[in-house]
Structure 1
Amino acid sequence: MGLGNFIADIGKALPLGAEPTETGVNFSIFSRHATAMTLIIFESADPDSDFEEISLNKRRNRTGDIWHCHIRGLGPGTQYLYRADGPYVPEKGFRFNPYKALLDPYAKAMTDLSVWDMAASVGYNAEGAFNDLSFSYKDNIRSQPRCIVVDDDFDWQGDRPINYPLRFSVLYETHVRGLTAHPNSGVQHPGTYLGVIEKIPFFKELGITSLEFLPIQEFYEGELSRKNPGTGKTLVNYWGYSTVSFFAPKGSYAWDKTPGGQVREFKEMVRELHKAGIEVILDIVFNHTAEGNEWGPTYSFRGLDNTIYYMLDGNKRYYKNYSGCGNTVNCNHPVVRTFILECLQYWVMEMHVDGFRFDLGSILGRDQQGRLMENPPVLERIAEDPVLSSTKIIAEAWDAGGAYQVGWFPGGRWAEWNDRYRDEVRRYWRGDPFQVQHLATRISGSADLYLRDGRKPFHSINFLTSHDGFTLRDLVSYNGKHNEENGEDNRDGGDNNLSNNYGVEGPSNSSSLEGIRERQLKNFVATLMVSLGTPMLLGGDEFARTQGGNNNAYCQDNEISWYDWTLMEQNQELFRFVKEMIAFRLRHHGFMRPEFYTGRDGAYNATPDIIWFDEKGNAPDWEKTEYCLALRMDGSRADILADRDDSDFFIMFNPADRQAHFKICEPLAGKRWYLAMDTSLPPPDDILSAGNELPLPDQDEYYMQSRSMAILLSKVI
């Protein structure tokens, strides 16, 4: 195909994006306020290749607000951009500029973003000065990444999304690149989707059900200008919470660098994970884009229809900023609602993902003026969409504008990250006094938050650590954050970490101190796995991954964030404990109950479904009980949906810096208590595999070491 030989037909308005046909490619893009639209087609993948600009006739190539055309002779791999002309009146919200080549919001793949000169997309005027009221004549077409036409055909080999019920799920939050980027990762394709495939045996051994990936929609690592004060290297956007293209999987995470190769490789990863019985959940960032505020670049949404895609301030020149990142997507505008729904549907239908975690999800509940809505249309549409009906939808139920909706996130069947669980369990095991009532509330499903509007215990995503904050190892190793290498003089990142270093900041050569830390790691994991709700484990916590006290490693694409796989060998006993605790949870339906505890007899055996005790065997005085707590859980009809019984359990918690003698309640007639787990015991006695639990010599009392947790289960004599 040579330039000038294109045959352009009218095309059709839907679907939006670039859709291969039998004879060519149909191009379609939305812009309500543009007065002219130009499609740019590149002759080849060469960065310096020639291109042709095809002006779309606003009568012939426009249906309503959608511009479209069909180009015969093109196919998958074609690279393209747009130009949109219209008014440039920032004080009225319009920022059209035909000198800025624009990305298609529906593009399914992008060229290499690492060569992007984003500064060329910023509005500098002809004199080189920046003023967002001054029109910029600088053309960015040679510095802008390009969209790639993608063919959706793929040999899925019969694969479909798995969609485990939430209550049977154990989530594992990880980063595609960081998982295998380290030279000691032992994979042939480090830092890629193929690298994830190579780690499937590890995930299977660990026993998790679902991977929750940090953002994999295309983003630009090079948007930061700050340098690491220690190394002098420019820091990067490592986490990816600054989306450039919502339909496109990140190209740099693919080993296959051919045009569109990242789409095929992502699909291969999903297919192989599904074969292994592992779900794929995506962290998705609809709350803002990488275009930033009025000082930011124009590369897509801003240049196509700024007043539609973003929440603007009263005089329209400035952007409302509920994201803390410069702009806020206008999620409840009808056009943007459709964009969000079609994006989610694409990832489910064409990419076979099993769920989404919505970053700063409360923004999706704001109206076009930024006010929180009682029943936000976009949240309801996501919850009620028939394509997404089995898909996991998980909200980070707050935003940077002051919204906090944990326990009452609107829109129906949403699950939520439960930061109350994180904070209150941390306080308890740190040794803060008088926390027993909070621990009891959190491990019994957070009924204070979720016992409303048809919610269930599994709508609480229980977690103790996540990408944002300390790792579990750092939680027991540092009293304060150590973010100096982020280049912000240690001002960034949270200060309320609820951590404890137990006397030494950072690594220690003291075997007794390290013993306390290792026990605390087990206490945290064991608590997480016996709590009602859906547990989420931060990747690497199972073998004590550390970030050296950095609790905001968003800009560290290096050993600070990468998984150090030598820790698997050094901490193999911790790994064994974690995988055994996951297996323990998944084989005991009592910890995956579909309903909240009632404190009453629900199985007609004269035994309440849960009873609480202090260490003396009495009902705890919730205001005065300082540290120790125990519970007895009745396993009869633990899973009422399946009419399934489980063992009875007696679980003891001692966060105090002293030993404790717990009075044990009697087992039901014909049964005997067996020890399943005690975090104070040396491996392998700290947790016993199924069938190897040990009968307690003394059925009346159990002696517990300081800072420890123990689980007894009943068996028929």
Structure 2
Amino acid sequence: MQQPYSQGKGSTIPLGATVTPEGIRFAVWSGAAECVWVCLFDGTRETRLELKPDGEGVHALSVPGLKDGTRYGFRADGPYAPEKGLWFDPDKLLVDPYAVEIDRPYIYDARLAARRGEGGDTAALVPKAIARALPAPPPMQSPLFDPGGLIYELPVKAFSIRHPGVPEQDRGTLRALKAPAVIDHLKKLGVSAVELMPVAAWIDERHLGPLGLTNAWGYNPVTFMALDPRLAPGGLADLREAVSALHDAGIGTILDVVFNHTGESDAQGPTLSLRGLDAQAYYRHDAGGKLVNDTGTGNTLACDRPVVQQLILDSLRHFVRHAGIDGFRFDLAPVLGRDADGFHKDAPPLEAMRADPLLGGRILIAEPWDIGRNGYQLGNFPSPFLEWNDRYRDDVRRFWRGDAGAVGALATRLAGSSDVFERDGTPATRTVNFLAAHDGMTLADLVSYAGKHNEANGEKNRDGHDENFSWNDGVEGATDDPAVRARRDMDKRALLATLFASRGAIMLTAGDEFGRSQRGNNNAYAQDNETTWLDWAGRDTALEDFVSALSALRRAAPALQDTRFLTGRPDEGQDIPDVEWLTETGATLDDVTWQDPARHRLVMILRDGNHQGGRLAVLVNGDRRASTFVLPGREGYRWCSAFEGGPVPGAAVPGRAVAFMVERG
């Protein structure tokens, strides 16, 4: 008899495969399945055992005598009506949503998407979950991260596959992060935390195979706890040991997680896990039974359902407990707060993370947009969520591109984006400032290409963002012209100096510190090749050293790491304001000069306690012409360059440059 449709109330019963001294207990949730089996594999031989209803929508069975390392999957039967969101098909082997390890990567095959009765059994095509007795969690420690620190976005394979300092057998895997050469590079840059692009096991989108392409980014997961065997051949231990090595160096680890969709895709996609267990409950559907697509990938997780919330929270806790993860960055995060009526900042999943004793103190970062109705939610996530700030990215790019009237927006971004984050008396910014990320042009391409060049993706350059606020200074792409190369180098340095001069957390994508290029490809998700693999042998070490100097300056200057909003007034007991905004002549910027469309120069003077009561000046010259900046003096103090290699005090600041001056008593 068909069970009534259930949205899933969540379960107080442990799910997944629990290894005990007596055997293994298997438990999986489905509110609509009529029958569920656990399938045990010994080589290619399969043994099916029917699970029993255990309450709360859980189907469970304890099997005595089974050991750690047992390979298994599930099958489920029930009504088959895809137009109503019912996909039960016992020919489809299903991966446990709570699997902590799988025996091989997911590989797309058209038979995985075949309709019931047409494609045959899929056991040979689907990875098997591996039951594991996880070790006792290590003692919990506070997250390693400074709210005003540097996040380093890192794609594990692309970062390490060509790194000469990584043992050859570890290249392309999480084990590479333990290499002393990698740790030394991160410490040189002053990285507060690495942000690992998705490491959970993913599947290629079905259109990539015929194009000869594969997914290089990992934003297409099937299950959420099992690591991709290509990145973690040793399973969870590889992640745990990498995190431990980074912690020993004082560096935190943030996981980029995808809880907005799965690789089961749209109605033509494969049946691999959630779809075959209870698609109606796990995915959002419209009133007509069609999959909602607020993600652009074909499906959207129903995060308003308790059973989905439980899966998300259990996955996050798993990585904190068993790998020591310091925090998470949530891809397309508005989906976490969506129900049928739209996004809610106090939605149960977001509230549950904030209140959870294990998760509430972790670093939580939202990508605050999706493609659904009212999907742009920058500034609307609750504290303590930090948020990727694309307004920072765009306004800084526009200023250095030379757009008229961009200086006011630049000042707002330098000061922490109070127009976005200063709400309801909030004292500090929650911005994550960035110039470039995995999605979009690299820093070097930003100053070398006026438009995107995504032809290699096989979609006739139709994919990827069309407006990048990029420029090419008269020559598109790579060039041997030394004058053009010199101008581009100045532009890269100006952009990087702006980033390190900005209040709030800052993020740098791996390789941008030494001028990586993707040849203008701003959507390189399908380029698992030298387009995205970092070229360590050919890197610009001078630019890398410049970034290292900027980072050291930022760490030494409390005013740059402070996340409190600026007021322009002295604090109690102080005689100088926390910020002054001046023209290059030393005059205070007023309403007229702020609005001058021809203004491309700016001075920001910050009170900075590390300089004996002095101040820190950030001098921004967005013009191609050099300019002499005049700074206000005080008796008993003098201005000097903040770090070696900066402009000489009193001299002209070069065109397209940012200078840092400190006032010392």
Q: If the length of structure 1 is used for normalisation, what is the TM-score?
A: 0.87
| Matched-pair contact (CA < 8 Å) for 1:312–1:319 | yes
Q: Using the alignment, how far apart are the partners of 1:302 and 1:279 within structure 2?
A: 35
1:47-446 alignment runs, 5 A limit: 49-58=44-53, 62-113=54-105, 116-124=107-115, 126=117, 136=118, 138-153=120-135, 160-182=140-162, 184=164, 186-188=166-168, 189-198=170-179, 199-221=182-204, 223-225=206-208, 234-254=212-232, 256=233, 261-316=234-289, 318-367=290-339, 369=340, 371-373=342-344, 375-446=346-417
Q: Using the alignment, how far apart are the partners of 2:430 and 2:380 within structure 1?
A: 11
1:641 aligned partner: none
1:451-600 alignment runs, 5 A limit: 451-453=422-424, 455-568=426-539, 571-600=540-569
Residue 652, structure 1, aligned to residue 619, structure 2: yes
Q: Deviations over 1:558-590 (max 9, x none)?
A: 00000000133xx21111110111111112111
How large is the RMSD of aligned CA atoms in angstroms? 2.1
Shift of 1:137: 6.3
| Matched-pair contact (CA < 8 Å) for 1:182–1:559 | no
SS at match of 2:525: coil
1:9-24 alignment runs, 5 A limit: 14-24=13-23
Residues 26 and 13 from structure 1, CA distance in 2 versus in 1: closer, same or farther, beyond 3 angstroms? farther
Q: Deviations over 1:632-669 (max 9, x none)?
A: 11124x8xxxxx97641122111112222222111x33
SS at match of 1:469: coil
Partner AA of 1:119 in structure 2: A
| Matched-pair contact (CA < 8 Å) for 1:227–1:487 | no
2:3 aligned partner: none
Shift of 1:221: 3.7
SS at match of 1:70: strand
Q: Deviations over 1:525-564 (max 9, x none)?
A: 1111111110000110111111111111000010000000
1:37-48 alignment runs, 5 A limit: 37-43=36-42, 46=43
Residue 685, structure 1, aligned to residue 651, structure 2: no
Q: Using the alignment, how far apart are the partners of 2:242 and 2:204 within structure 1?
A: 22
Q: Using the alignment, how far apart are the partners of 2:12 and 2:474 within structure 1?
A: 66
| Matched-pair contact (CA < 8 Å) for 2:52–2:60 | no
Shift of 1:405: 4.1
Shift of 1:35: 1.1
Q: Using the alignment, how far apart are the partners of 1:120 and 1:390 within structure 2?
A: 44
1:658-673 alignment runs, 5 A limit: 658-666=625-633, 668-673=634-639
Shift of 1:610: 0.6
Q: Using the alignment, how far apart are the partners of 1:41 and 1:13 within structure 2?
A: 25
Partner AA of 2:619 in structure 1: M
1:681 aligned partner: none
Q: Using the alignment, how far apart are the partners of 1:245 and 1:359 within structure 2?
A: 15
Q: Deviations over 1:324-347 (max 9, x none)?
A: 000000001111111111111111
Shift of 1:124: 3.0
Shift of 1:80: 0.3
| Matched-pair contact (CA < 8 Å) for 2:146–2:192 | no
Q: Using the alignment, how far apart are the partners of 2:576 and 2:642 within structure 1?
A: 22
| Matched-pair contact (CA < 8 Å) for 2:144–2:250 | no
Residues 122 and 531 from structure 1, CA distance in 2 versus in 1: closer, same or farther, beyond 3 angstroms? same
Q: Deviations over 1:166-218 (max 9, x none)?
A: 42421000101111112756532110111122111221222211110111111
Q: Using the alignment, how far apart are the partners of 1:528 and 1:600 within structure 2?
A: 24
Shift of 1:262: 1.7
Runs of 4+ in 1 over 6 A off after TM superposition: none
Q: Using the alignment, how far apart are the partners of 1:293 and 1:645 within structure 2?
A: 61
| Matched-pair contact (CA < 8 Å) for 2:144–2:251 | no
Shift of 1:118: 3.2
Q: Deviations over 1:490-516 (max 9, x none)?
A: 111111111111111112222222111
Shift of 1:409: 2.2
Shift of 1:222: 6.7
Residues 75 and 226 from structure 1, CA distance in 2 versus in 1: closer, same or farther, beyond 3 angstroms? closer
| Matched-pair contact (CA < 8 Å) for 1:39–1:56 | yes
| Matched-pair contact (CA < 8 Å) for 1:424–1:438 | yes
SS at match of 2:319: helix
2:32 aligned partner: 33
Partner AA of 2:517 in structure 1: T
Q: Deviations over 1:588-643 (max 9, x none)?
A: 1111224111111115343211111112222222111621111211124x8xxxxx
2:640 aligned partner: 674
Shift of 1:141: 1.4
Q: For structure 2, list consecutive stretches of 5 or more residues without a partner in the other structure.
A: 1-10
Q: Using the alignment, how far apart are the partners of 2:375 and 2:507 within structure 1?
A: 20
1:628 aligned partner: 601
Q: Using the alignment, how far apart are the partners of 2:163 and 2:542 within structure 1?
A: 23
Partner AA of 2:174 in structure 1: Y
SS at match of 2:226: strand
Residues 283 and 419 from structure 1, CA distance in 2 versus in 1: closer, same or farther, beyond 3 angstroms? same
SS at match of 1:219: coil
Q: Which moved more, 1:271-280 or 1:391-400?
A: 271-280
Shift of 1:15: 1.5
Q: If the length of structure 2 is used for normalisation, what is the TM-score?
A: 0.93
SS at match of 1:467: coil
Identity of aligned residues (%): 36
Shift of 1:314: 1.3
SS at match of 2:222: strand
| Matched-pair contact (CA < 8 Å) for 1:99–1:138 | yes
Q: Using the alignment, how far apart are the partners of 1:373 and 1:685 within structure 2?
A: 48
Q: Deviations over 1:315-366 (max 9, x none)?
A: 21x2000000000000011111111111111111112111111111111121
SS at match of 1:252: coil
